[in-house]
Amino acid sequence: MMLKREKKLERKVANERIRILIEKAEKMKFEDYELAKRYIKLAKKISMKYRVRIPKELKIKFCKKCLYPYKLDKFRVRVRKSRVIITCLNCGFERRIPIRPKRQ
């Protein structure tokens, strides 16, 4: 009989690895910017292969398009028209995060 894959365990390990990699990239970005990008690339590959979401608080730490982590002097934050706009100064990609007013 063929052995079955342990998908639940795979996803659990994948989640832990993504967290480790992005936290490593956060520390590494001041020393070696290219290596920090490599860590995020690995994290993204793992998340796509095992279909695990990257948590929201980690997602906003790097550019969605060029995968460089946001670093001082390499990104800009503006609030305009009820949304936060984060611009990556490496590639120019704009990420817009809407802010919804609380309903009463």
Question: Residue 15 or 87: which CB sits closer to other proteins?
Answer: 15
By CB under 8 A, what part of segment 2-21 binds other proteins? 3, 5-6, 8-10, 12-14, 16-17, 20-21
Q: How far apart are CA 22 and CA 15, in angstroms?
A: 11
Place of tokens 């894959």: 5
b/e for 53-74, b at 16 or more Cβ within 10 A?
A: ebeeebeeebbeeebbbbeeee
Residue 46 interacts with other proteins (CB under 8 A)?
yes
Q: Which residues bind other proteins (CB under 8 A)?
A: 3, 5-6, 8-10, 12-14, 16-17, 20-21, 24, 35, 38-39, 42, 45-46, 49-50
